Structure 1
Amino acid sequence: MTVLSGIGILIGFAVLMFGAWKKVNLLVVTLVVSAIIAVFSGMNVAEVWTGPYIDGFMGFAGKYLLLFCFGALFGKVLEDSGAGWRIANTIASKAGDKWSLATFVAVTLILLYGGVSIFVIVFFILPIGKSLFKKLRIPWSYFPGIAMLGTIPPVGMLPGSLQLLNIIPTSYFGTTLMAAPAIGLSVTVLYFIIGYLYIKWIMKNSEKHFDLEEFSLTQSIELDEAALNESAPSFWLSILPIGLALVIINVLKVDIVFGLIIASAVGIAIFKKSMGNVLDTVNAGVANGILPVIYVSVVVGVARTVAVAPFFEVMKNFLLNLSIPGLFKVVATTSILSAMTGSSSGSMTMILELFGNDFLSWGYNPELLHRLISTASLGFDSLPWNSVVVVFFTLSGVSYAKGYKHVFATTVLMPLVCTLAIILMGSVFY
């Protein structure tokens, strides 16, 4: 039965990967996956669905529902008011040609660091990027790889970030959003140094790859720049709620949910004239957080199902007893599950649910584990079926054949280098 259980887990994860690739509804996919694991493990499917699967779902959803909903509301306030557009447009327009590309990346970093969803930000940066890349004669196929440079550090590396990957470990390790600040800042600098060198290298051949017709492939919504310029709040007013959220959560140590509520309320108050119907913004913003929390929760349900399968102890002991240093085991486990799920948040919650206590029992500093796992989960999740990758390629119109190699470099290889750097620095700082 143990062998059959292992086969069931492998088949289940293969189905999970295939379902993610084909964009099948994750609730349906994870129910099928948990059923496969149950059948091969000699367990009753109904009991698995109503037991460990739903327990895992409810455990995560109960803990993070408010965080997801009010985080989405905060992003919606910035979107509907035009504040997000104002921040992006002002920063990009103030930079000269020499710094325009770096500033373009910085726009994404700043908005993400402040807690805005990448699925909101992409609509701001796409038209800005289209104009900028045309002006600088940068091939449009470079857009996804360059644009996503700004998505990696604020999501998992930078201490203090209001993104989910920096929040989830706090519940398991008892850390704060500022966990391992020296290491986080160091690997962020390293990441951008490598990114700068990579962009400089690909620019050597940019002219022969430049094709003006590629810019017509984008499916982005054309923003009414004139209307936004007229209605959106000023730049300094636009960044006020983001700065407020970062201060009250990281400095004043206010609970994250309450911090986001306060920042959203302040945003609504000062942006009221720019927002239109406030109730519509609140309703849509809160609703935007429900589906993502369900999608992550169902993956946690699969993790709980795996945990009760007979093969789990064998698999767990194999991974934990690999003849490599402990931190490399953490990275290997995180990378494998990130690749399988195509989701950094989904894989992180699964890893912490299944292995978190074991990692802590090895005696490593919780802050080091926090920063290591949040960075490692960013690497192999960015395979072609990752939802963010799909969104960037779909909206930009860039083909995977032309653009994915650059995405692989900036979102898989570079985070992996930074992950290894964290391991090396861990012995120095901790």
Structure 2
Amino acid sequence: MIGLMVVFIALFLLIYLAYRGVSLLILTPALATFAVVASREGSALGSYTQIFMGGAGNFITLYFPIFLLGAVFGKLMEDSGSAQTLANGIIAKLGAGRAILAVVLSGAVMTYGGVSLFVVAFAVFPIAAALFRQANIPKRLIPATIALGAFTFTMTALPGTPSIQNAIPMPYFGTSPFAAPGLGVITALIMFGLGLMWLQYRARSLAAEGYGDHPDAEFSPNRELREKAAGEGFDLMELPVEQPAKDQPSFVVAVLPLITVIAVNLLFTFVVIPRMDTGFLALPLYGETDIEAVRGVWSVIVGLVCALLLLLAMNWRRLPGLKQTLDNGANASLVPIFNTASLVGFGAVIASLSAFLLIRDSVVTLGGDNPLISLAIAVNILAGMTGSASGGMSIALSTLGDTYLEMARVAGINPELLHRVTAVATGGLDTLPHNGAVITLLAIAGLTHRQAYFDLAMVAMLAPFISLIALITLGTLFGNF
């Protein structure tokens, strides 16, 4: 009983102190040590160096290339003007009459192609503000509109997305980024459709309110916002800086790197890697593993590298400060991956305590004979507690991944279905008010939780919940497809 209380106190302090802006790099090892000492189990120093750092280190070993390449890719898309061109092009094509759809699609196209959701938010907001003002749509719907395109179906449901939420399950389940493609597409359409219906309904019901009295001077990330974003766990390098006007790439030049990420990813997953001789992976030198454990990660890495090279080749003259851009992109990958790895280390320490056995036994029985339900609940709760989709997923899989894989084997469930349920389940409670992405998006828009959070939660929390239920129902009835 004391052990359970210690675990819940540690989790409560994690939620509260993270929301108050305490760095996860300091908070997670401190709370992990507190849990060990208060539980009177094991060695505090041993738990820190061997369990906490072991868990964090393994996560970094697996996923650092994806964090690094993704951050550099996003920064190059931003500094080359490609992100702005995409946003301008899609929104201009649809026009003010379809302002909500235009903003959602502009965010979706970029995030599905691998652009950081923070780069998307900074690129899209100024245009969205002008478009919503022109269409006389309430400004308080802008954060929800951006979130629907950038935080939801392209992050978790669409097969092939290079998001870290789609990459993390791959080594645990031996799957690829295209796991359960049919179910993923259906889930994404439900999420997109429900979110869009809600936003359009709200725009009609709030028509009398209009855009509101918001001056909306030309947006620039001021010092206060940059410091706030950094406090929420995002590297300052990920935020844009004011740049002189420059030649913008054409829409075709801007969109080609995004297409390349997905196309090369698909090609390597299903054509190139299956034809490779990968027997060498069984050697001790390569960790005595097999291709199923690394296939997905390899595909995403190659897809991002090819897209980076193409982006550089087509925008060389638009990147006079290329060295600085690459440095900023590389630096921007460090805080996110170390924050997530620290959460994984915290989870590893909690899992080493005897009280965790009681929690595990309770969680895995929640869905009865259907492990998909239990998995979805566990991931959602942990994502909500940590305020991080990737952090919650990583803790769940590092502590319970093998258990769910064995349960799925016994139940005859395809690991690809486990992958897709895990990914989609991260996109629910992670959007609670203390989520760093939520706080930063509201700060970009200059709005408060009271003004804009309700609609944001409807499209980024409720719609994914309903989509997750549909995914589990379809997967249970028809299996993986």
Common fold by TM > 0.5: yes
Question: CA separation in 1, counterparts of 2:119 and 2:4?
Answer: 40
Question: 1:86 Cα deviation (Å)?
Answer: 0.7
Q: Please tell me whether the aligned partners of residues 141 and 399 of structure 1 are also in contact (alpha carbons under 8 angstroms).
A: no
Question: CA separation in 1, counterparts of 2:255 and 2:52?
Answer: 41
Describe the superposition over 1:101-148 as per-residue Cα deviations: whole angstroms up to 9, x where unpaired.
212110100100011111111111110111011001111111111221
Q: 1:65-76 alignment to 2 at 5 Å?
A: 65-76=64-75
Q: Could you say which residue in structure 1 is the equivalent of 2:176?
A: 176
Identify if the C-alpha distance between structure 1 residues 226 and 32 changes in structure 2 by more than 3 Å, giving closer, same or farther.
closer
Q: Which amino acid counterpart does residue 204 of structure 2 have in structure 1?
A: K
- Report the aligned-residue RMSD: 2.0
Q: Could you say which residue in structure 1 is the equivalent of 2:378?
A: 333
Identify if the C-alpha distance between structure 1 residues 241 and 211 changes in structure 2 by more than 3 Å, giving closer, same or farther.
closer
Question: 1:56 Cα deviation (Å)?
Answer: 0.6
More deviation in 329-338 or 297-306?
A: 329-338
Q: Which amino acid counterpart does residue 11 of structure 1 have in structure 2?
A: I
Q: Could you say which residue in structure 1 is the equivalent of 2:315?
A: 271
Question: 1:90 Cα deviation (Å)?
Answer: 1.0
Question: 1:179 Cα deviation (Å)?
Answer: 0.6
More deviation in 317-326 or 293-302?
A: 317-326
Q: Which amino acid counterpart does residue 397 of structure 2 have in structure 1?
A: L
Describe the superposition over 1:335-355 as per-residue Cα deviations: whole angstroms up to 9, x where unpaired.
111110010000011111111
Q: Please tell me whether the aligned partners of residues 127 and 220 of structure 1 are also in contact (alpha carbons under 8 angstroms).
A: no
Question: 1:376 Cα deviation (Å)?
Answer: 0.8
Q: Could you say which residue in structure 2 is the equivalent of 1:421?
A: 470
Q: Could you list the runs of 5+ residues in structure 1 that have no partner in the other structure?
A: none
Q: Please tell me whether the aligned partners of residues 140 and 215 of structure 1 are also in contact (alpha carbons under 8 angstroms).
A: no
Q: Which amino acid counterpart does residue 144 of structure 2 have in structure 1?
A: G
Q: Could you say which residue in structure 1 is the equivalent of 2:36?
A: 38
Q: Could you say which residue in structure 1 is the equivalent of 2:387?
A: 342
Q: Which amino acid counterpart does residue 179 of structure 2 have in structure 1?
A: A
Question: CA separation in 2, counterparts of 1:392 and 1:105?
Answer: 14
Question: 1:219 Cα deviation (Å)?
Answer: 5.9
SS at match of 1:102: helix
Q: 1:21-100 alignment to 2 at 5 Å?
A: 21-42=19-40, 43-100=42-99
Q: Please tell me whether the aligned partners of residues 218 and 397 of structure 1 are also in contact (alpha carbons under 8 angstroms).
A: no
Identify if the C-alpha distance between structure 1 residues 215 and 140 changes in structure 2 by more than 3 Å, giving closer, same or farther.
farther
More deviation in 253-262 or 402-411?
A: 253-262
Q: Please tell me whether the aligned partners of residues 366 and 373 of structure 2 are also in contact (alpha carbons under 8 angstroms).
A: no
Q: Could you say which residue in structure 2 is the equivalent of 1:322?
A: 366
Equivalent residue in structure 2 for 1:243, among 255, 259, 275: 259
Q: Please tell me whether the aligned partners of residues 96 and 132 of structure 2 are also in contact (alpha carbons under 8 angstroms).
A: no
Describe the superposition over 1:355-393 as per-residue Cα deviations: whole angstroms up to 9, x where unpaired.
111111122211111111101111000001111101111
Q: Which amino acid counterpart does residue 365 of structure 1 have in structure 2?
A: N
Q: Please tell me whether the aligned partners of residues 296 and 345 of structure 1 are also in contact (alpha carbons under 8 angstroms).
A: yes
Question: 1:233 Cα deviation (Å)?
Answer: 1.2
Describe the superposition over 1:40-83 as per-residue Cα deviations: whole angstroms up to 9, x where unpaired.
22133222111210101111011111221111111111111001
Question: CA separation in 2, counterparts of 1:356 and 1:420?
Answer: 21
Q: 1:290-301 alignment to 2 at 5 Å?
A: 290-301=334-345
SS at match of 2:137: coil
Q: 1:20-419 alignment to 2 at 5 Å?
A: 20-42=18-40, 43-151=42-150, 152-216=152-216, 220-221=220-221, 228=245, 230-253=246-269, 255-322=299-366, 324=368, 325-363=370-408, 364-419=413-468
- TM-score of the two chains, using structure 1 as the length reference: 0.95
Question: CA separation in 2, counterparts of 1:96 and 1:321?
Answer: 50
Question: 1:394 Cα deviation (Å)?
Answer: 0.9
SS at match of 1:231: coil
Question: 1:226 Cα deviation (Å)?
Answer: 11
Q: Please tell me whether the aligned partners of residues 66 and 301 of structure 2 are also in contact (alpha carbons under 8 angstroms).
A: yes
SS at match of 2:341: helix
Q: Which amino acid counterpart does residue 24 of structure 1 have in structure 2?
A: V
Question: CA separation in 1, counterparts of 2:212 and 2:367?
Answer: 53
Question: CA separation in 1, counterparts of 2:457 and 2:407?
Answer: 32
- TM-score of the two chains, using structure 2 as the length reference: 0.85
More deviation in 189-198 or 415-424?
A: 189-198
Q: Could you say which residue in structure 2 is the equivalent of 1:19?
A: 17
Question: 1:220 Cα deviation (Å)?
Answer: 4.0
Question: CA separation in 2, counterparts of 1:226 and 1:308?
Answer: 49
Question: CA separation in 1, counterparts of 2:205 and 2:242?
Answer: 32
SS at match of 1:158: coil
Q: Please tell me whether the aligned partners of residues 268 and 278 of structure 1 are also in contact (alpha carbons under 8 angstroms).
A: no
Q: Please tell me whether the aligned partners of residues 144 and 403 of structure 1 are also in contact (alpha carbons under 8 angstroms).
A: yes
Question: CA separation in 1, counterparts of 2:121 and 2:422?
Answer: 25
Question: CA separation in 2, counterparts of 1:79 and 1:297?
Answer: 26
Identify if the C-alpha distance between structure 1 residues 127 and 287 changes in structure 2 by more than 3 Å, giving closer, same or farther.
same
Question: 1:224 Cα deviation (Å)?
Answer: 11
Q: Could you say which residue in structure 1 is the equivalent of 2:295?
A: none
Question: CA separation in 1, counterparts of 2:302 and 2:204?
Answer: 48
Question: CA separation in 2, counterparts of 1:252 and 1:340?
Answer: 36
Aligned identity (percent) is 27
Question: CA separation in 2, counterparts of 1:383 and 1:162?
Answer: 24
Question: CA separation in 2, counterparts of 1:227 and 1:429?
Answer: 53
Question: CA separation in 1, counterparts of 2:338 and 2:241?
Answer: 33
SS at match of 1:232: coil
Q: Could you list the runs of 5+ residues in structure 2 that have no partner in the other structure?
A: 223-239, 270-297
